[in-house]
């Protein structure tokens, strides 16, 4: 039994006449009869009462008609959704991104892409790096804006931005007038950072470890804007990517960190050996055409 058999069955249930139904469907009466036999064989019971002028649903048939209408409607909806996914002009891009690019890189990318593809929608997921990688593996996300670069054996990668790392200090801090600063200069001070599990928290911890100390956390946040605000309020100091926090008046002062390793690379990732939907492929092509930026 095929889906079309259920469609034909539903039409026959409405017209209650084999010849009329065959004409409506543009098929022959023998073809319609064979289709009906397949449906009845699938359910193991007769579904119509044969009458002199046609056929009429029996109690079994009424149950099957309800299921047939629901089933064919579900199939039609699935086909429409697949058609939408296959349309590079109006599909949906399943995109995951880091919390730390939510107010900087992401708005720029989305605004630029929507200017050339206004009918494409996005299903956005904002989450930590380890959750993003898991979503790429499961297919919950097709493309991700993430750092650091995930396993190159499993994921493609395109570099988008190199971010200089800076030390944020409150106004009036002893280091606020510096043009560049070594991280060890604040080894004894309280830090404001992200909660454990966030990718940039690991970056901060590794930088401090390389500078010879373990940071003492006064507060752990879930986004960079909150960290910047807490530094401005005098709660402590923080390491933040340049340009990652926009449009704030927290009062925090940003000082570039000394050292060639004091940078973070953000890129676009996707799962290898997996075909992207046309909309996602269009977005990937667009992003790869943009120049790498440095902040």
Residue whose token pair is 């890189």: 105
Measured distance CA(117)–CA(279) in Å, rounded: 9
Of the CATH numbers 2.40.110.10, 3.40.800.10, 3.40.190.10, 3.90.1150.10, which one belongs to the domain with range 94-160+265-294? 3.40.190.10
What pTM was estimated for this model as a whole? Answer: 0.63
The confidence score (pLDDT) of residue 261 equals 67
Q: Are 93 and 283 in contact (CB under 8 A)?
A: yes
Other Cβ atoms within 10 Å of 288 Cβ, number: 12
Considering Cα of 98, then 102, then 105, then 109, what sign does the dihedral take? Answer: positive
227, two tokens: 């960290």
Do 162-263 and 94-160+265-294 have the same topology in CATH?
A: yes
Check residue 89 and give its pLDDT.
73
> What are the residue boundaries of the structural domains of the chain, listed by start?
3-86, 94-160+265-294, 162-263
Residue by residue, pLDDT tens for the chain (295 residues) are: 788 888 888 998 888 888 888 888 889 989 888 999 999 999 999 999 888 778 899 999 999 999 998 888 888 778 777 776 677 677 889 999 987 787 778 899 999 999 999 989 899 999 888 899 999 999 899 999 998 899 999 999 999 998 889 999 999 999 999 999 999 999 999 999 999 878 788 889 989 999 999 999 999 998 888 999 999 999 999 999 887 676 557 788 999 998 756 778 899 999 998 888 888 999 999 999 998 887 7
Q: Of 170, 149, 47, nearest to 98 (Cα)?
A: 149
Q: Would you state the CATH architecture of domain 162-263?
A: 3-Layer(aba) Sandwich (3.40)
Q: Which residues pair with 159 in a beta bridge?
A: 267
The pLDDT, as a whole number, for residue 205 is: 92
> What is the chain's Cα-based Rg?
30
Of the candidates 40, 51, 39, the residue with the CA atom closest to the CA atom of residue 1: 39
Half-sphere exposure of 95 (CA within 13 A, CB side): 27
CATH match for 3-86 among 3.40.50.720, 1.50.10.10, 1.25.40.10, 1.10.10.10: 1.10.10.10
Report how far Cα 23 is from the mean position of its chain's Cα atoms.
Answer: 47
């Amino acid at each position: 039994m095929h889906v079309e058999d259920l469609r034909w069955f539903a039409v026959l249930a409405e017209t209650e006449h084999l010849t009329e139904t065959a004409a409506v469907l543009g098929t022959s009466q023998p073809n319609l009869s064979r289709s009906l036999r397949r449906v009845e064989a699938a359910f193991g019971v007769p579904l119509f009462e044969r009458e002199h002028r046609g056929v009429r649903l029996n109690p079994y048939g009424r149950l099957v008609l309800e299921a047939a209408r629901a089933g064919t409607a579900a199939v039609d909806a699935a086909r429409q959704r697949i058609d939408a996914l296959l349309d590079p002009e109006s599909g949906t891009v399943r995109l995951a991104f880091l919390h730390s690019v939510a107010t900087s890189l992401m708005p720029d990318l989305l605004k630029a892409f929507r200017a050339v593809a206004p009918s494409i929608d996005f299903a956005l997921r904002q989450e930590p790096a380890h959750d993003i990688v898991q979503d790429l593996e499961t297919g919950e996300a097709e493309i991700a804006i993430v750092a650091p670069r995930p396993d190159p054996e499993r994921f493609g990668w395109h570099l988008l931005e190199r971010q200089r790392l800076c030390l944020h200090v409150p106004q009036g801090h002893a280091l606020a007038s510096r043009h560049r600063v070594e991280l060890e200069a604040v080894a004894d001070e309280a830090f404001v950072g992200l909660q454990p599990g966030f990718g940039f928290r690991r970056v901060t911890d590794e930088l401090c470890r390389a500078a010879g100390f373990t940071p003492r956390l006064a507060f752990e946040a879930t986004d960079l804007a909150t960290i910047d605000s807490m530094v401005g309020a005098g709660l402590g100091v923080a390491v933040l990517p340049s340009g990652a926090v926009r449009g704030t008046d927290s009062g925090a002062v940003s000082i570039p960190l000394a050292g060639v390793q004091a940078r973070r690379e953000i890129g676009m990732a996707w799962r290898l050996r997996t075909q992207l939907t046309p909309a996602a492929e269009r977005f990937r092509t667009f992003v790869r055409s943009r120049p790498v930026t440095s902040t």
